[in-house]
């Protein structure tokens, strides 16, 4: 009896290792010999599994290291994202309907992924819409409040989702896909700590771990990374020389429409607080000096400006991991980051809180 138990104990890991994904499809109207592929969404040229349809269906098998998000392609035009592991999954649909509407059964991870799409995709689309209206300046008043309302709702839904699905790898994706909506690193780490080992032992979990490391870089409450760059006259300027003052490190460019519109607000705020230990240090992502200088003059930017005229390859922007502009960091006299991306009235309200008692 003991030998039998020992035998099965040895066989169990082998059985587990032998597991694979088997995706069985039944699709109305699907012609025979249609190509069916699973691809790695991180590397679209990498095929995970492939087969051809027959009799209105297909069976596709693949071995996955862990549950992961994949692209399912049927023919040349039909495709959708799926989140699958090594399990037996069925999908039913029709060539006359979108693949996003096809019905998957047998996969808890895919069920969680569908819930994610239903809850979050409409909210992401709404935020994109509001953001575009803000950048274009055509949305009228109240857009900032609308944006904040949408972000607050997303934060609420993130906590609800990961509380409901702490062991799901989709929860790691939920945190990762919404990480840009908060600067609260402690909150992000708390959310990640709620997830089980199964959720984190995936490619998505690995990406989340890396994103948390990145989030700690120049986080609110940390000392801003020092830098040195030449000003408009060619003189070296360092961030450290602004210690003792509140300073807004402002990333912008002459060709950036939203940046130029924000300059109007920034000039107004600078004039109001420049005599109360506040200043601005502009870092331009321009490539040519003439447009940079012309924009400084036209927008009446009287504070210090620096640039190495390397565009998006600007060394300070690279150091601060700037991927979009306008962006800014408000630093205290001790060099600590107090806030990020304060614009318009938000910057003025923050400075009023800090400086109006002086």
Could you report the per-residue pLDDT of 303-348, keeping only the tens digit for each? Answer: 999 999 999 999 999 999 888 899 999 999 999 999 999 988 899 9
Q: The dihedral of CA 242, 244, 245, 251: what is its sign?
A: positive
pLDDT band of 13, cuts 50, 70, 90: very low
Beta strand ranges found along 133-263 (DSSP E): 228-230, 236-238, 246-252
Does the pLDDT of residue 153 top 60, yes or no? yes
Alpha-helical regions (H) of 250-358: 257-273, 289-298, 315-319, 345-355
Q: What is the mean pLDDT of residues 134-162?
A: 84
Under 8 Å between Cβ of 282 and 305: yes
- The whole-model pTM stands at 0.68
pLDDT band of 10, cuts 50, 70, 90: very low
Question: What pairs with residue 328 in β-bridges?
Answer: 250
Q: The dihedral of CA 66, 67, 73, 79: what is its sign?
A: negative
Question: Beta-carbon neighbour count of residue 338 at 10 Å?
Answer: 18
Under 8 Å between Cβ of 215 and 188: yes
- Range with the poorest average pLDDT among 14-23, 31-40, 166-175, 311-320: 14-23
In the chain, what percentage of residues exceed pLDDT 90? 74
Q: Which of residues 182 and 237 earns the better pLDDT score?
A: 237
CA–CA separation, 118 and 125 (whole Å): 12
Q: Which domains does the chain have, with CATH numbers?
A: 2-106 (2.60.40.10), 110-216 (no CATH), 228-355 (3.40.30.10)
pLDDT in tens, 164-213: 999 999 999 999 999 988 878 889 999 999 999 989 988 899 999 998 98
Q: Which of residues 4 and 72 earns the better pLDDT score?
A: 72
> What pLDDT is stored for residue 14 in this prediction?
39
pLDDT in tens, 63-106: 998 899 999 999 999 999 999 999 999 999 999 999 999 999 99
pLDDT in tens, 240-290: 999 999 999 999 999 999 999 999 999 999 999 999 999 999 999 999 999
């Amino acid at each position: 009896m003991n030998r039998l138990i020992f035998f099965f104990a040895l066989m169990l890991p082998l059985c587990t290792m032998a597991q694979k994904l088997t995706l069985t499809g039944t699709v109305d109207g699907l012609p025979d010999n249609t190509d069916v592929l699973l691809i790695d969404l991180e590397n679209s040229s990498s095929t995970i599994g492939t087969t051809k349809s027959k009799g209105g269906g297909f069976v596709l098998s693949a071995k996955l290291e862990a549950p992961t998000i994949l692209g399912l392609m049927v023919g040349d035009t039909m495709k959708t994202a799926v989140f699958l592991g090594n399990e037996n999954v069925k999908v039913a649909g029709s060539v006359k309907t979108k693949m996003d509407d096809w019905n998957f059964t047998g996969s808890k991870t895919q069920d969680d992924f569908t819930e994610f799409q239903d809850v979050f995709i409409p909210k992401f689309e709404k935020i994109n819409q509001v953001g575009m209206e803000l950048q274009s300046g055509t949305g009228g008043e109240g857009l900032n409040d609308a944006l904040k309302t949408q972000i607050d709702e997303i934060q609420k839904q993130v906590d609800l989702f990961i509380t409901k699905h702490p062991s799901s790898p989709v929860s790691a994706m939920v945190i990762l896909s919404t990480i840009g909506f908060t600067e609260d690193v402690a909150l992000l780490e708390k959310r990640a700590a709620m997830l089980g080992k199964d959720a984190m032992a995936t490619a998505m979990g690995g990406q989340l771990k890396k994103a948390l490391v990145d989030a700690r870089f120049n986080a609110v409450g940390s000392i801003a990374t020092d830098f040195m760059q030449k000003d408009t006259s060619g003189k070296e300027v360092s961030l450290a020389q602004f210690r003792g003052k509140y300073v807004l490190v402002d990333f912008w460019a002459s060709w950036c429409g939203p940046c130029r519109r924000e300059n109007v607000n920034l000039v107004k705020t600078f004039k109001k607080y420049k005599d109360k230990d506040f200043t601005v240090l502009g870092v331009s992502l321009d490539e040519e000096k003439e447009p940079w200088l012309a924009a400084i003059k036209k927008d009446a930017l009287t504070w210090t400006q620096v640039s190495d005229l390397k565009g998006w390859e600007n060394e300070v922007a690279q150091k601060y991991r700037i991927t979009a502009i306008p962006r800014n960091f408000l630093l205290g006299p001790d060099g600590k980051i107090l806030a990020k991306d304060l614009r318009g009235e938000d910057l003025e309200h923050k400075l009023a809180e800090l400086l109006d008692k002086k």
